[in-house]
Structure 1
Amino acid sequence: MMNNHVANKFYQNDPADFVSTTTEAASTLECSLEIMQEIAQWLIKSGIGYNEFSSALKPLFYKAAIQEADRIEQKKTDSSLSLLAGLHRKDIRQYRLLEENHQTIDSDLEKNFASNIPTRVVAKWLEKKLPFRIATVGEQSFEQLVKEITTEKHPRSILLEMKRLELVSEQHGEITLQCFSSLDKVNQSLRQQCLSQNLTTHLKAGLFNIFDCEQYFLEQAISIDHLSLNSIEKLRVLSQILWDNLSHEFQIAAQQCIEKDRHDPNAQYAIQLGIYSHNTLKSQ
């Protein structure tokens, strides 16, 4: 949401500026939603729905509003931050109070995730020390377990969701809580953290290039279509070879820089270089 003071200033200078700003905001939202399509799929596959995600976004918008207020040197009042972030003033007051008490405003994440029903069912299952295999209905059953948590969702719907997430399996009228090895969980967590870091760095580079004209970060891609699967495989192998050579040379140069900067008090910066490839069937 645009700050009223800024919007009025644009409008007083030239009405066309206000129209241009509104068009830019619409374009930004459209581009953001294109990115969100993939993130939404990631979230849903991981058992995170709209309610959990939207609630977890509130602190992020609050922090972004604080940063923007600092950038434009605007006084940070509840009303101004509410306009910038698009949040209700009571949310702004809550976050500011937490900051004044030196508490993190990210604490909502655990609470929001705890509201996820499949997660609560597993937690209750373990808390009650039930067997890993229980009946679908009856005493100490899956149905009874779900009803202890919610009466708004049908146990069968919760069961289907938990089966989709591979949290449980169903066979012969019994529900089994799935056990995953710690290694599998660690590997998946590490892959997700790596993806998150790579995407964040890529976005930072691209957004910096959009909003800052004094410096430019490398942020390029090559797109080629009308290819056969054989050609795709050939280019995929080539891209891996090129990356191996590039990363090797880059790390050699980086090690030389590390040695050179070892005693430099200004050596407080970091750099990240990445590459990706993806192929898909083009829509006709």
Structure 2
Amino acid sequence: MDSTQLNPATQPSDDRGQRSLDAAMLVLAPLVRWLLRHGVHYGAVAQGLKQVFIHEARQELERRGAKVTDSALSVLSGVHRKDVRVLATLPQVQAALVPTPASMLFTRWVTDPALRVGAGDGQSPPVVRPSLPRHGPMPSFEALAREVSSDVHPRTLLEELQRLGLVSLAGDEVRLVADRYVAPTAELEAAQTLGVNVADHLNAAVHNISGGATKRFLEQSVYAYGLSPASAEALAEVARDLWAPAFEAMVQATTARLVGDDADRAATAAALPRERMRFGAYYYHEAEPPEAVTPPPPLAGPVA
């Protein structure tokens, strides 16, 4: 059993906190799925999460007008004081990615001088071995995998590297198909877009359910169950059709507002406050789990 399950200090102190934690776990599930598919494991997330807790604890203390100290940050966030001292000085959300066995194996392959071969002309420097036999003593993929990790089976590491598009398997030979452990530019941009879009959706939802909110942001959804696959696909098209005019209208209104605000600043020479906004919509469907005996209400209206 994980030791954190035995420590009451790591558990919510009341039913309200537990309900919030339960909801957060639902939010995290698809995020963890995405991270796993990109080779990010628990250690990296746990380290990054400490930093997020410290940053948000600092923001919360400042909102309350309280003095920001290492002790106050530790008490509010639950992060140990020694970690607070180290992490509080780093830029926001700059998690130190803990290497995975797969990333360590790949890095070792492309950087270890012992895994290089001569260029063949006697003058050029050695180059990275483009392939390794899958089995056998060093240099082989299996031997390299066992040197890198004694906990993960070489076959599992091979499958992970194949999934990440870093190696391929040809017969009994493992071949490199990439020279760097980096995501393509398009994928990095997509990840950034995912982060800012989902973060602002959550910002709106958290604001709406926070006590004392004087105004509420638009944050609504429609939910239905019992649909056929064809109906779910048809409704996906309806969602796209509904979004198109909303997108155009919001772009036009935003552009007009920006032009007007710039004109006001130029006319008054005043440093008017600046705010940012984001407007979006989403649609998602998937198969209902067979164990869902008692379904939720067929339609759920505004979520505020």
1:1-284 alignment, distance < 5 Å: 22-96=14-88, 99=89, 104=91, 109-110=95-96, 112-113=97-98, 115-128=99-112, 129-136=127-134, 137-179=136-178, 185-211=184-210, 212-263=212-263, 264=265, 265-266=271-272, 268-283=274-289, 284=292
Specify the code of the residue in structure 2 equivalent to 1:225: Y
Specify the code of the residue in structure 2 equivalent to 1:202: H
Paired with 1:86 and 1:51, the residues of 2 have a C-alpha distance of: 18
Paired with 1:202 and 1:104, the residues of 2 have a C-alpha distance of: 23
Contact 2:52/2:92, CA 8 A, preserved across alignment: no
Relative to structure 1, is the Cα distance of residues 240 and 152 closer, same or farther in structure 2, using a 3 angstrom cutoff? Answer: closer
Contact 2:204/2:218, CA 8 A, preserved across alignment: yes
Measured on the aligned residues, the alpha-carbon RMSD in Å equals: 2.7
Compute the TM-score of the two structures, normalised by the length of structure 1. 0.80
Paired with 1:180 and 1:227, the residues of 2 have a C-alpha distance of: 46
SS at match of 1:261: helix
> C-alpha displacement at 1:147, in angstroms?
4.4
**Which deviates more, 258-267 or 220-229?**
258-267
Paired with 2:237 and 2:70, the residues of 1 have a C-alpha distance of: 55
> C-alpha displacement at 1:161, in angstroms?
2.8
Question: Percent identity, aligned pairs only?
Answer: 26
Specify the code of the residue in structure 2 equivalent to 1:157: T
Specify the code of the residue in structure 2 equivalent to 1:174: E
Specify the code of the residue in structure 1 equivalent to 2:24: S
Paired with 1:58 and 1:186, the residues of 2 have a C-alpha distance of: 28
> C-alpha displacement at 1:222, in angstroms?
0.9
Paired with 1:139 and 1:151, the residues of 2 have a C-alpha distance of: 15
Cα offsets for 1:90-132 (capped at 9, x unmatched)? 1122235xx3xxx54756x34x33x222112222222244222
Aligned to 1:14: none
> C-alpha displacement at 1:196, in angstroms?
1.2
Compute the TM-score of the two structures, normalised by the length of structure 2. 0.75
Paired with 1:191 and 1:34, the residues of 2 have a C-alpha distance of: 22
Relative to structure 1, is the Cα distance of residues 148 and 91 closer, same or farther in structure 2, using a 3 angstrom cutoff? Answer: same
Specify the code of the residue in structure 2 equivalent to 1:94: V
> C-alpha displacement at 1:71, in angstroms?
2.4
Specify the code of the residue in structure 2 equivalent to 1:74: A
Contact 1:261/1:267, CA 8 A, preserved across alignment: no
Paired with 1:225 and 1:133, the residues of 2 have a C-alpha distance of: 50
Paired with 1:131 and 1:195, the residues of 2 have a C-alpha distance of: 37
Contact 1:81/1:92, CA 8 A, preserved across alignment: yes
Unaligned stretches of 5+ residues in structure 2? 1-11, 113-126, 266-270, 293-304
Cα offsets for 1:212-244 (capped at 9, x unmatched)? 421211111111223223322332222211111
Cα offsets for 1:63-87 (capped at 9, x unmatched)? 1221222223333333332221111
Paired with 2:192 and 2:28, the residues of 1 have a C-alpha distance of: 18
Specify the code of the residue in structure 1 equivalent to 2:230: N
Contact 1:43/1:49, CA 8 A, preserved across alignment: yes
Paired with 2:92 and 2:246, the residues of 1 have a C-alpha distance of: 41
Unaligned stretches of 5+ residues in structure 1? 1-19
> C-alpha displacement at 1:245, in angstroms?
1.0
